[in-house]
Amino acid sequence: MKKVIIFGVGNFSSLAWYVLSHDSAYEMVAFTVDAAYIDKRSHHGLPVIAFENLIETYPPEDFALIIPLGPRRVNALRAERYLKAKAMGYSFVSYVSSRALIWPDLQVGENCMIYEGVIIQPFARIGDNCILRSGCNISHHADVADHVFIANGALIAGKTKIGERCYLGLGAIVRDNVTVADRCILGAGAVVVADTEADGLYVGVPAKRRALPAE
């Protein structure tokens, strides 16, 4: 049984702990956060360890990581911690809910979370470090790049391309054959019917570009 450390102690990390504990063959052994954000020694009965000191107690040859952080800074925080942990030598697990509707040859990268009710059709591909929340639908031949967050109920039609670090909000829809460029945010309920430009916020029906809010 692979022993796994979860990055974070927020809501998404608690959710990851719960589903992995009840619906996977992995053993959860600890949580880790940046040292500056440690405000308790345990979480859900497991120790909380400073990320900077993680190798000392949980060496990468014996433990794997999962980093289920949300879309903060257009997924930059999750991407940064994932790449840093990878440079430290850690491997990653991915979680695909037993209640998701998938096909046996689905291509899923590492450090992914695919929740219950997700539908992924044949020939779709999910990159590394992605989170697909409950009830989203990924149609045939869709390509989801690395570090993407797809919220509940979002719909990606066939032969679409979702660029790196994109965030698709609740119920967002991307029409078939459309490319969503890197680091785009699609607002809740947005309907994207044409290719987007990088670093844009798209809202409305049909979706129109707005400037991204300042970080």
- Residue 35 Cα distances to 11, 17, 50, 58, 80, angstroms: 18, 20, 5, 15, 16
Q: Which of 22, 140, 141, 147 is catalytic?
A: 140
Residue 24's identity, in one-letter code, is S
Q: How many CB atoms lie within 10 A of CB 185?
A: 25
Taking Cα atoms as reference points, which of 116, 70, 66 lies closest to residue 92? 66
Tokens of 1: 């049984």
Residue 128's identity, in one-letter code, is D
Known catalytic membership, residue 147 = no
DSSP string for 13-49 = HHHHHHHHHHSSS-EEEEEEE-GGG---SEETTEEEE
| Residues marked as catalytic | 140
